[in-house]
Amino acid sequence: AQSVSQHNHHVILSEAASLELGCNYSYGGTVNLFWYVQYPGQHLQLLLKYFSGDPLVKGIKGFEAEFIKSKFSFNLRKPSVQWSDTAEYFCAVNAVGYQKVTFGTGTKLQVIP
């Protein structure tokens, strides 16, 4: 069975600091990978996704993530965070050929102005 680990539960950064949120998954086969964001009081939104091809994927709002297959990782990065990035971030994995999407426990990001 697939599983996802997000090791950072709560991250506090100052504006303009760089961000990297860790995500590791466990599954031996081919996967699709996602990062979702949930702003306070809002629903989940897709930030970026990896299906195949270039392992460095760029998403909305300046976010990017790199798929490193050998490390089973899909870390989320942003070079300079803004106060408006305060939200909860979820990594998710879906084994190719299966419909089930498994979510990590989420990372709450707080950006201090």
Chain residues that interact with other proteins, rule: CB under 8 A: 32, 34, 36, 42-46, 49, 90, 92, 94, 99-106
* Residue burial 25-58, b: 16+ Cβ < 10 Å; e: rest: bebeeebebbbbbeeeeeeeeebbbbeeeeeebe
Q: How far is the CB of 46 from other proteins (least distance, A)?
A: 5
Our CB check for other proteins shows the closer of 32 and 73 to be: 32
Q: How far is the CB of 15 from other proteins (least distance, A)?
A: 26
Our CB check for other proteins shows the closer of 1 and 70 to be: 1
Distance CA 86, CA 108 (A): 8
Distance CA 31, CA 99 (A): 11
Our CB check for other proteins shows the closer of 40 and 113 to be: 40
